[in-house]
Amino acid sequence: MPVKEIMPPIKYRPDSEVDPIEESVAYVTHQWFQLLMPVKSTCYRCKAESPVVHVPWGDPMGEVLAFGNPRLLRRGNRKAHDITKETVAAFAAAGWKYQLRRAYCPTCKGLGSVP
């Protein structure tokens, strides 16, 4: 007597679903293990300390907080990776405004000096 299949086999449609191999590769290379560096700042106006936020940190010589400065991105024979967007986003998630040479707490956000 033949055995009936309870559920049909799952078919992956490449146009509508993610390939399981690509999904696992993306997970292993980007989410499974990440080097993070704890960063803390002080408010420029009221001197309050920020909470510790974690920013991605790979190779110490390859990660730079450059704020788009091309001279800071060139280190030796290779180009460094700018982690400015990740750092600003991490501080924004904590409620802080993080800028070049200045950081503002949630109560002082937008109250910087006007030249």
pLDDT per residue as tens digits for the range 53-87: 998 887 666 677 878 777 777 766 567 778 889 89
Domain presence at residue 75? yes
Instruction: Answer whether 0.75 is exceeded by the pTM.
Output: no
Q: Which uninterrupted H or E stretch holds 20?
A: helix 20-30
Residue 52: pLDDT band with limits 50, 70, 90: very high
Domain presence at residue 16? no
Domain presence at residue 4? no
CB 39 within 8 Å of CB 49: no
Tokens 């009936």 correspond to 4
- Domain housing 55: 36-104
The total number of structural domains in the chain stands at 1
